[in-house]
Amino acid sequence: MNINQVLAQFQTSGKQTSFHDRHLQPQIFADLNGKNWHLKDYEARGGYQALRSILGMHGAEGLTQDQVIASIKESGLRGRGGAGFPTGLKWSFMPRQFPGQKYLVCNSDEGEPGTCKDRDILEFNPHIVIEGMAIAAYAMGISVGYNYIHGEIFQTYDRFEAALEEARAAGYLGDNIMGSAFNFQLHAAHGFGAYICGEETALIESLEGKKGQPRFKPPFPASFGVYGKPTTINNTETFAAVPWIIRNGGPAYLACGKPNNGGTKIFSVSGDVELPGNYEIPMGTSFATLLELAGGVRAGGKLKAVIPGGSSAPVLPGSVMMDTTMDFDAIAKAGSMLGSGAVIVLDDSRCMVKSLQRLSAFYMHESCGQCTPCREGTGWLWRIVDRLENGQGKATDMDLLDSVAENIMGRTICALGDASAMPVRGMLKHFRPEFEHHITHKTCMVAAYT
Amino acid sequence: MNTAHMQTIAGQTFSADVQARFDRELAKYPADQKQSAVIACLAIVQQTQGHVSPESEKGVALYLGMPVMAVHEVSTFYNMFNLKAVGRYKINVCTNLPCQLRGGQKALHHLSEKLQVKVGATTADGMFTLQPAECMGACADAPVLLVNDRSMCSYMSDDKLDLLIDGLRLAVKESS
């Protein structure tokens, strides 16, 4: 075997994560098998019909920009990258009569620990993102777009570039798309290892060829984005939801989820489950159902805790999760956030101090260093949790953790500071005795931790 | 300054093939925003030369018409850039929480034992550099690792780790 053949043996086929029959009413992952990512396959699944219909092909009347945005508003689609901001509303913020260049950006800088959905969308259904972006560009009168893909998934980046070539050759991208007056040039860009670039203004800085340090907001990207021009940024999965909405109508999308939480959502389930992977299910499905789809808690274990929306979301006890549904409002009500839909499951063999120690190390490593509370605070948090884990905690450390977390939150340019503090507060709120045990006994409460 | 002249100077640092790849990246951005291609150009440099040296930073700066320090800011900010020479194969093992729950840390330890090398170091024969890494967005595939930035390996049980290392060693031997 040559070197490439050696490496190819270990490349995932996506079978375990996304090609299984354990999705419920899938829209984005429907009928995928890993091989049918090409343009002709996508067209056979009804792909690019939404774009054709808004452009008014074959003498039929198309949709106006306002009609497209109204349809997205009606659907209840909320941003899939973490914040859950209503997509239609975001699109309506773009100045449509602006005389200069405007930009559309897809945020595929998927690096929130627990998340691996955008990778599978881009790798196995890239045209759904291209079509969604083209529709968005049409609705906002944008002629240039970039898909910023994080640097750890070069194979996926190459796949997306190949899909772009197919779309250009077929006339779905470029000048006078499908013979209309609509022009849209779309390119792929990549990062090279920086979690912070998932923050939209850091991503813009990175796209401009700079360090990924977030900008002050306001001004928001809609008025001052890429190269200082009006810019709209959405997550990969958000764009991927758009073609279905245009084809089936906003009300149908909303009906698939629950009020204020339209559509399906892809949850990346990781950690202590039998079948880690991506599960596309209607918003508002119960957590118990999702856990069952993922094969339940790994053999021998009992559900202890769940981080429901990526590592930045506060942890919730398993019992609370078993009573909740998977949507923005229900998870917020339970005291955490849906975030990017990364569900990290921990069983009863896990020590929460050790888990937090690893997360705190991550935020310390990824803080961009721009704001003092985050740059210093993340290191401070890690040092305290690290000494607790190593049996050197002091009685005053609990209050100190609380105070450092409190003093980071709300005092930084971007949300990374809050993201480092929220897991700490969640852990202390629900698992305080474990931390106190580490201080008092210098050992772990959970003996079986491996 | 004359951009064409600067590119001629920079051209002495990079092969025609590499320059063609640079140009392909540059074509994505407005003509007055060449700096946008800096990450991609540095990644190409790293792929072809193994790491980003001060000389190649200078070459990229000239090629893109930006200050050398602005290039250095980028190469020092993004985690995947190697600022020093690494082994023929750089192996980055994800150890973040979702991976840790499914043996990420154990995989790093296994490789360290098998390669007889400390985490963060390079084997004596210059073949492998072993490093821990942060989230790669492949959490359901854990344990997961990256070989030379561009090849992701999923579900890396101890058996598969052995296959990977032995396979790479054999492939190198056969190709030399």
CB contact under 8 A, B140 and A116: yes
CA-CA-CA-CA torsion sign (A390, A396, A400, A403): positive
SS3 A148: strand
A71 contacts chain B (CB < 8 A): no
Q: Which residue of B has its CA nearest to A270?
A: B140
- Measured between alpha carbons, how far is A147 from A164 in angstroms, rounded to an integer? 11
CB contact under 8 A, B33 and A366: no
ipTM over 0.85: yes
Smallest CA–CA distance, residue B5 to chain A, in Å, is 22
- Residues A425, A312 contacting (CB under 8 angstroms): no
pTM given for the model: 0.96
Q: Which residue of A has its CA nearest to B25?
A: A189
Q: For residue B146, which amino acid is it?
A: L
- Residues A122, A156 contacting (CB under 8 angstroms): yes
Instruction: List all residues of chain A from 154 to 173 with a beta carbon under 8 Å from chain B.
Output: 154-155
Beta bridge pairs of residue A256: none
- Residues A58, A151 contacting (CB under 8 angstroms): no
Q: How far is CA A334 from the centre of its chain?
A: 20
pLDDT of residue A57: 73
* DSSP letters for A263-321: SEEEEEEEESBSS-EEEEEETTEEHHHHHHHTTSB-TT--EEEEEBTBTTSPPEEHHHH
CB contact under 8 A, B102 and A271: yes
- Residues A151, A191 contacting (CB under 8 angstroms): yes
Per residue in B44-103, pLDDT tens?
999 999 999 999 999 999 999 999 999 999 999 999 999 999 999 999 999 999 999 999
CB contact under 8 A, B140 and A358: no
A6 contacts chain B (CB < 8 A): yes
- Measured between alpha carbons, how far is B103 from B101 in angstroms, rounded to an integer? 6
pLDDT of residue B28: 98
A124 contacts chain B (CB < 8 A): no
Instruction: Provide block-wise average pLDDT over 10 residues at a time, chain A (450 residues).
Output: 94 93 96 96 97 86 94 96 94 92 98 96 98 98 98 97 98 96 97 97 98 96 97 98 97 93 96 97 97 95 96 96 96 96 96 96 96 97 96 94 96 96 95 94 73
- Measured between alpha carbons, how far is A78 from A136 in angstroms, rounded to an integer? 14
- Residues A284, A330 contacting (CB under 8 angstroms): yes
- Measured between alpha carbons, how far is A143 from A183 in angstroms, rounded to an integer? 6
Chain A residues close to B152, C-beta within 8 Å: 11-12, 152-155
Chains A, B: CB pairs < 8 Å: 200
CB contact under 8 A, A193 and B80: yes
Long-range residue pairs from B40-43, CB within 8 A, at least 24 positions apart, any chain = B40/A189, B40/A190, B42/A192, B42/B71, B42/B74, B42/B75, B42/B81, B43/A151, B43/A190, B43/A192, B43/B80, B43/B81, B43/B149
CA-CA-CA-CA torsion sign (B29, B35, B38, B41): positive
A307 phi, psi to nearest 5 deg = -100, 105
Chain A residues close to B37, C-beta within 8 Å: 209
- Measured between alpha carbons, how far is A321 from A290 in angstroms, rounded to an integer? 11
